Structure 1
Amino acid sequence: MKVLKYMLIFIPISFIAEFMHASSSIMFILAALSIVPLAGLMGEGTEEISFYSGPKIGGFLNGTFGNATELIISFFALKQGLFEVVKSSIAGAVIGNVLLVLGASMLAGGLKHKTQTFNKKVVEVSSSMLLFAVVGLCIPALFTHTVDVALLNTRYESLSIFVAIVMIAIYILSLIFSFFTHKDIYSADIEEEGLTAKWSLKKAISVLVISTVLIAIESEFLVSGIESITKSLGLSEFFVGIIIIPIIGNAAEHSTGVVMAMKNKMDVALEIAIGSSLQIILFVAPVLIFLSLLFTPMSIIFNQFELIALIVAVLIVNRVSNDGESNWLEGVQLLAVYFIIAASFFIL
């Protein structure tokens, strides 16, 4: 976290660069370097609030605000009509969480503790829900890829809105499941370690609000430079959306997962990876669909490459996590798949 705090210097630099009308590519880089520490501060703020609200509510807030950066960046991309970037960033966030974050966590934790265990029941529920969520995203796309586009006309948007409503409903039901009807499954994971809050509640809320506002401003700088950076570096919008933006938005969350695994808290690392992915699909994606209605309606139809990458990632994480144990080799395998997918999108 100390390194992230030093990176806060890029925030005033980005504002100065904007006033001096720096090029869009430079603004993209400065905004990216600014968003990473701000996302870290947002995570720290929600962690401090959890001391006052309780670990369960705190964990929920941590996941929600952890994905807030992704939501804000995608909102400004929607405004500019960069639908492919938005959709690929949704897919990229899921792929990054279940392959990059979980892979790095298993590798780091496995090297230190050899074999690590986690609550198999909780992971089974989460990974099964993740598989359902990805299937829910993929079915409309598979349908439209096999039907004559001329027959569908504007039904893309109607289908997307229907899927979004179903996803939001499932998300609400999953909260009821974990917080009320089956909270005993999750209560076993909560360990009180006698830690106390470093910040007051007022300070934690203030940091959260200020970080959110600054991320919104920096996200506008970032999105305005996407077209320029893709041309100057010869990158595709798919690669920017599926690899770069998720890494920028979730860098702090990624580092937290690795740290938790090294502390032999694989339950927390898995919850960060799988829980965050679930929230991206069941909450962030539907919200973006609804927000797009304010501008130009966006369909939830992913291309074939994104579909394959999503399905492969989720099937692998289901297979790896079904025994309740992890080791460094499984981490290497997850990372290998992630880098293969990243390289494939790089050459598109």
Structure 2
Amino acid sequence: MKVLKYLLIFIPISLIGEYMHLSEPLIFIFSALAIIPLAGLMGESTEVISYYAGNRIGGFLNATFGNATELIIAFFAMRAGLFDVVKASIAGSVIGNILLVLGLSMLVGGLKYKTQYFNQKVIDVTASMLLFAVIGLTVPAIFTHTVNAKLLTTRYEGLSIIVAIIMFAIYILSLVFSFYSHKDLYATETTEESKPEWSLRKSIIVLVVATILIGIESEVFVGSVEPMTKAFGLSEFFVGIILVPIIGNAAEHSTAVLMAYKNKMNVAIEIALGSSLQIILFVTPVLIFLSLLFSPMSIIFNAFELVALIFSVLIANRIASDGESNWLEGVQLVAVYIIIAASFFIL
């Protein structure tokens, strides 16, 4: 986190660059570098608020704000009509968390410890929920891809809303399951928790300010996406599925790898898989609902995104089946991610 805070200098740099109408690729890079530390500050302030608010409210806050940065970026992209970028960022977040973050965590942790163990029951629940969530995303897409293209009307926007409502309801029920009815399943060994350096008032102020600045930077970032893709010959799919998730979750990704290095694989895996689950069950439905304010966005993904999502979740379920990990599994996950990234890069 201390290293990331040095990147805060890019907040004024990006805003000055936007005001002075610098080249769009430079503005894209500056705004991206500004968002990364802001996302870290948002996560850090949320953790401090959780300490003062207690486990239940704290757990809810962490679950809600866990992917707030990506939600904000996606909102501005959606408002700009970049629906392909938004949907690619949803798929990319899930794929990135499962393959890249989990893979790096297992690799880094495995290089220090021969075999690492985690709570198989908890991870099984999360992995099973992920499988359900991906089914919820794929069924509408498979349905629309198998019917006559002439029949693709606004009725599918209604289908997307129905799926979004069901997913959001499942998300609420999953919170009830983890924080109330089956909270004993998620109980961890009590350790002496040091008092955070920030006060409750300071953490709330930091959270509010970071959220506002992320909103400003996200608008700048999204505004430079199309010119940047043309300048570098990149596809919007690559930006959405690779760059946006990495930028929005850099701080969270580094935390997962650090936890694995400290042999806390339960935390590392829960960050990777839990974040993926939030993206599908919380962020996606909210974006569908918000799109009704502008131009309704469907929940239909292209065939390659669907294949990547399905295989990623199947891998997550396979890894969760034995309750242990090693560095070779990490290498395999990262290798698959690189293959997928390379495929989108050449589009």
Q: Scaled by the length of structure 2, what TM-score is found?
A: 0.98
Which residue of structure 1 aligns with residue 176 of structure 2?
176
Q: Which amino acid aligns with 1:195?
A: S
Shift of 1:190: 5.1
Which residue of structure 2 aligns with residue 212 of structure 1?
211
Q: Distance in 2 between matches of 1:53 and 1:322?
A: 34
CA-to-aligned-CA distance 1:15-69 (integer Å, 9 cap, x gap): 2112212222221111001000101111111121122123454344234223000
1:237 equivalent to 2:233? Answer no
SS of the residue corresponding to residue 22 of structure 1 reads coil
SS of the residue corresponding to residue 215 of structure 1 reads helix
Which residue of structure 1 aligns with residue 28 of structure 2?
28
SS of the residue corresponding to residue 123 of structure 1 reads helix
SS of the residue corresponding to residue 110 of structure 2 reads helix
CA-to-aligned-CA distance 1:257-315 (integer Å, 9 cap, x gap): 00111111111111101111111000100000011111111100000010000001000
SS of the residue corresponding to residue 195 of structure 1 reads coil
Q: Which amino acid aligns with 1:196?
A: K
Contact 2:138-2:306 at 8 Å conserved across structures? yes
| Cα separation, partners in 2 of 1:56 and 1:258, compared to 1, 3 Å | farther
Which residue of structure 2 aligns with residue 320 of structure 1?
319
Q: Which amino acid aligns with 2:315?
A: I
1:6 equivalent to 2:31? Answer no
Q: Distance in 1 between matches of 2:343 and 2:279?
A: 23
Shift of 1:153: 1.7
Q: Which amino acid aligns with 1:111?
A: L
Q: Distance in 1 between matches of 2:22 and 2:152?
A: 44
- Aligned structure 1 segments of 4 or more residues deviating by more than 3 angstroms: none
| Cα separation, partners in 2 of 1:109 and 1:56, compared to 1, 3 Å | farther
Aligned-pair identity (%): 71
Contact 1:39-1:66 at 8 Å conserved across structures? no
Q: Distance in 1 between matches of 2:106 and 2:59?
A: 21
Q: Distance in 2 between matches of 1:137 and 1:242?
A: 16
CA-to-aligned-CA distance 1:97-142 (integer Å, 9 cap, x gap): 1111111111111111211111111001000000000011000001
Q: Distance in 2 between matches of 1:332 and 1:82?
A: 33
CA-to-aligned-CA distance 1:50-95 (integer Å, 9 cap, x gap): 2212345434423422300000000000111000000000000000
Q: Which amino acid aligns with 2:51?
A: F
Which residue of structure 2 aligns with residue 227 of structure 1?
226
SS of the residue corresponding to residue 295 of structure 2 reads coil
SS of the residue corresponding to residue 195 of structure 2 reads coil
1:110 equivalent to 2:110? Answer yes
1:127 equivalent to 2:127? Answer yes
Which residue of structure 2 aligns with residue 201 of structure 1?
200
Contact 1:55-1:190 at 8 Å conserved across structures? no
SS of the residue corresponding to residue 298 of structure 1 reads coil
Q: Distance in 2 between matches of 1:144 and 1:207?
A: 44
Q: Which amino acid aligns with 1:36?
A: I
Contact 2:59-2:179 at 8 Å conserved across structures? no
SS of the residue corresponding to residue 170 of structure 1 reads helix
Contact 2:117-2:323 at 8 Å conserved across structures? yes
Q: Distance in 1 between matches of 2:48 and 2:58?
A: 8
Q: Which amino acid aligns with 1:279?
A: Q
Contact 2:8-2:38 at 8 Å conserved across structures? yes
Q: Distance in 1 between matches of 2:63 and 2:181?
A: 20
Shift of 1:166: 0.5
Shift of 1:172: 0.8
Q: Scaled by the length of structure 1, what TM-score is found?
A: 0.97
Q: Distance in 1 between matches of 2:161 and 2:4?
A: 38
Contact 1:133-1:282 at 8 Å conserved across structures? yes
Shift of 1:150: 1.5
Q: How does 1:1-348 map to 2 (within 5 A)?
A: 1-187=1-187, 189=188, 191-348=190-347
CA-to-aligned-CA distance 1:195-244 (integer Å, 9 cap, x gap): 21111000011111100000000000000000011001110000000000
SS of the residue corresponding to residue 301 of structure 1 reads coil
SS of the residue corresponding to residue 46 of structure 1 reads helix
Shift of 1:167: 0.4
Shift of 1:152: 3.4
Q: Distance in 2 between matches of 1:128 and 1:258?
A: 23
Q: Distance in 2 between matches of 1:322 and 1:53?
A: 34
SS of the residue corresponding to residue 116 of structure 2 reads strand
Q: Distance in 2 between matches of 1:129 and 1:190?
A: 24
Contact 2:76-2:219 at 8 Å conserved across structures? yes
Q: Which amino acid aligns with 2:292?
A: L
RMSD: 1.1
Q: Distance in 2 between matches of 1:105 and 1:298?
A: 34
